[in-house]
Chains A and B, each alone.
Chain A
Amino acid sequence: MLRLEKLVKTYKTGDQALKAVDIDIPEGQVLALIGPSGAGKSTLIRCINRLVEPTSGKVYLGDVELTELSSGALRRERRRMGMIFQEYALVERLTVMENVLSGRLGYVGFWRSFLRRFPQSDVDEAFRLLDRVGLAHMADKRADELSGGQRQRVGICRALIQDPALLLVDEPTASLDPKTSRQIMRLICELCKERGLAAIINIHDVALAQMFVQRVIGLRFGAVEFDGPPEGLTPDVLTTIYGEEDWEATIEKVDDDDAMAAE
């Protein structure tokens, strides 16, 4: 469904963020991307929807090759890739509803969006999604009035209203407390299951990733160091990804509803 072939990103400063990464993700698979800060996780996700232009290599979404697309065709393909951001990235001075509807911008013309006259079906879908995440009553609030967890829920709605085939999720829990983090991760994974979406989730919290995903890829210095099921993350593997540390506490089996005692 999504295939990366020899994806390379070299920044102008000469830093090689990605070194010929090959990844193949089947339909409906939720994948966690782990690795130390600066390993290229964020760059990898952004190279897929070309918020960052890859230096070389190919990205296939279904049958479409993304790296060669013209800007118009790229916009059409971006509609199929919903993105969820670290720190939510809601437009703070717009209302919750406007933020959710901004996920439809790829589908409606300029004047419709400028006058905020979205098709009724979009508005209905926005309310349905907001209701699904328990925020329908907040629709007319400004985004900066919401708490962190609420904002990330709105961010999820914005990504889903695009009707994507793939979710690109960049550190969804980085600024949330442990309980909210779990709730958000659970919500993302549930929604992916309901809708049969594939997802790439960048995440720092290894234990949290192990709880929710079917497959983990470990990135180190822009290269894939580990690719396998979450059970395969042994202390040795974590040491190759992150470096020497005592990993026993991290990979201890955590029951779903305990507080994150190990953290």
Chain B
Amino acid sequence: MNDAVFDVETKLGQPWKKPPFVQRAWLRWALLLGLIAYLIAAYMTIDVNWSRVYEGLERGKKFVLAFANPDFTTRSSDIWEGMLESILMTVASSVVGIIISIPVALGAARNVAPLPIYLICRGIIAISRALQEIIVAILLVAIFGFGPLAGFLTLSFATIGFLSKLLAEDIESMDKVQAEAIKASGARWTQWINYGVQPQVMPRLIGLSIYRIDINFRESAILGLVGAGGIGATLNTAFDRYEYDTAAAILLIIIVIVMALEYLSGVIRARVQ
């Protein structure tokens, strides 16, 4: 109230503006001009071969038109097998990944775990997130050979990084007082997690898990391209043979399944709020 001498008269009749994010004017302008210069320079380096694009348009058109009459029948047994393998990979890797990522997430939350465990779990997450799925899949295919086992392991590994990180962040931002109240009753650590922490993060855990199942299914379609099993292998073969109608059929099935999962996740998330 009476902190500093503040002469209100100097402010009256003056327009008021929100203080800028970067205080120093010269720095603000330098950053802005630098960004514009960088963008212009960056776009100039992209070089487009227009005659190649013209040729490619024809192929692109064929591909798009194939969606008008997709061929589900000619290779139906291949599609069916690949789809089943993909779904199997998705379910198995999601279950294993989620089960492993819950303890890792607890370890990676600073307000729940002691520092050494925190560092170990954050390390696991960092490694899992640093290695892109395709790279992991190529490595695992080299070790375990072609087939869904490599895909299953890849997706499980990727799930751990994704789910643990986001769940740990939710645990860290939980309401401290609710957890404190459980601690004050003399609960042991496991009970404290079960009563004080779990109820608070459950909606997020369920939401993230469903989202991850969705991602795992889509990824399982990609992993086939590097030989890690699933519908991706079938899709790859179809492209190699220029059988765009079969490829279109596979893509349509993937789209339908992803949309169904999306819808399902919406329904479930609404119910667990």
Contact = CB atoms under 8 A, between A and B. Distances in A.
The answer to whether A and B assemble together is: yes
Contact of A102 (B177, B180, B182, B202): B182
B185 A105 contact: yes
A14 B192 CA distance: 30
26 contacts: A51-B184, A76-B186, A78-B185, A79-B185, A81-B184, A85-B177, A85-B181, A90-B181, A91-B178, A91-B195, A92-B175, A92-B199, A93-B202, A93-B203, A98-B195, A102-B181, A105-B186, A105-B187, A106-B185, A107-B186, A110-B190, A110-B194, A114-B191, A155-B181, A158-B185, A162-B186
A14 to B, nearest CB: 22
A254 B136 CA distance: 74
B188 interface: yes
Interface in B158-204: 175, 177-178, 180-188, 190-192, 194-196, 199-200, 202-203
B182 A105 contact: yes
Contacts of B177: 85, 87, 89
Contacts of A91: 178, 181-182, 195-196, 199-200
A173 interface: no
Interface in A71-125: 75-79, 81-83, 85, 87, 89-94, 98, 102-107, 110, 113-114
Interface of A: 49, 51, 75-79, 81-83, 85, 87, 89-94, 98, 102-107, 110, 113-114, 155, 158, 162, 168
B196 to A, nearest CB: 6
Nearest to A72: B188
Contact of B195 (A51, A83, A102, A155): A102
B187 A106 contact: yes
A50 to B, nearest CB: 9
A114 B175 CA distance: 21
Contact of A110 (B181, B188, B200): B188
A123 to B, nearest CB: 16
B197 to A, nearest CB: 9
Kindly list the 5 A-B residue pairs having the minimum CB-CB distance in the complex, ordered from nearest.
Answer: A106-B186, A105-B187, A78-B186, A89-B181, A93-B199
Given A94-B195, A98-B195, A110-B191, A89 B186 contact: no
Nearest to A107: B186
A51 B183 contact: yes
B74 to A, nearest CB: 52
Contacts of B191: 105, 110, 113-114
A83 B181 contact: yes
A181 to B, nearest CB: 19
Interface string B192-226: 10111001101100000000000000000000000
Contacts, number: 84
B190 A83 contact: no
A162 B195 CA distance: 16
A90 B199 CA distance: 11
Given A93-B202, A94-B195, A114-B190, 16 more contacts: A51-B180, A51-B184, A75-B187, A79-B186, A81-B184, A85-B177, A89-B180, A91-B178, A91-B196, A92-B175, A102-B181, A104-B185, A105-B195, A107-B186, A110-B190, A162-B186
Contacts of A82: 185
Nearest to A76: B186
Contacts of B178: 89-92
Interface string B120-138: 0000000000000000000
Contacts of A90: 178, 181
Nearest to B183: A51
A155 B202 CA distance: 22
A154 B268 CA distance: 30
A112 B205 CA distance: 24
Contacts of B194: 110, 113-114
B142 to A, nearest CB: 43
A107 B64 CA distance: 67
Contacts of A51: 180, 183-184
Nearest to A84: B181
A81 B183 CA distance: 12
Contacts of B195: 91, 94, 98, 102, 105, 113
A103 B185 contact: yes
Contacts of B187: 75, 102, 105-106, 113
Contacts of A106: 185-187
Contact of B185 (A93, A98, A102, A114): A102
Nearest to B180: A51
Nearest to B191: A105
